[in-house]
Amino acid sequence: MTARIAGVIDETPRVRTLVLDVPDWPGHKAGQHVDVRLTADDGYQARRSYSLASAPGAARLELTIEMLPDGEVSSYLAGEARVGDTFEMRGPIGGYFIWSEALDGPLVLVGGGSGIVPLMAMLRQRAASASRTPATLLYSSRTFADIIYSAELEKLAADGSGLNVIHTLTRERPAGWSGETRRIDRAMLEAAAFPPATNPRIFVCGPTPLVESAARGLRDLGHAAQRIKTERFGPSGK
């Protein structure tokens, strides 16, 4: 199917959101992704997968893309693409890393960097459905300027629906910063997550080292492995 760029939102210095019109879109679930295919004038093609940031049922789709060094696809989508441009897209894809308000248990989201994207789709779905499911987001960023969706997360946390957002900054912190200041560790997970006895639904997304460390820490805290869903990305996702 063909996606047309209807809008561009600069999220951080290295991350932008593409707002898309996709006339043939069949609908999706929060946490799913799409494959994007770009074709050069000489016929060369490049494909990459990107998580959907928009809630199911949103009027337009959103892809939030981080510019990666020497990235064939991200350099175009997060840098050169303009309103009116089109590209090929296939999806939605994935049935494992998904959440809906119909699922039981509190919601625990753990993300690092652009790993926030599918988690944001879940939070947007939670808000759109007026769900009061208790939820916590533990989100690791390098610096304050690197926090994706910063203003929207602040708004969602203040709407009285039972969402707690915890930020940790691993490199630079602004003056007066009162949040966490280290990489996500077991102590941070224990403070953020709901007790294992409440059977929370846990979704972890980000760079492979963060995902593996967080999943291991959550299991060590007594959370059932089958309740922990993970999705990771690495240097090949360009």
In this predicted model, what pLDDT tens digit does every residue of 9-18 receive, in sequence order?
A: 999 999 999 9
Residue for token pair 């999806």? 91
Rg (CA), the chain: 18
The two three-digit tokens of residue 156, written as one number = 């969602």
Residues 130, 192, single domain; the answer is yes
For residue 154, the tally of other CB atoms under 10 A from its CB is: 12
CATH of the domain at 40: 2.40.30.10
Closest C-alpha among 220, 198, 234 to residue 108: 198
Q: Nearest 5°: phi and psi at 106?
A: -60, 165
Per-residue pLDDT, 236: 36
pTM of this prediction exceeds 0.85:
yes
Low-confidence residues of the chain, pLDDT below 70?
Answer: 234-238
Per-residue pLDDT, 234: 55
Residues 126, 65, single domain; the answer is no
Q: Where among 27, 61, 93 does a domain terminate?
A: 93
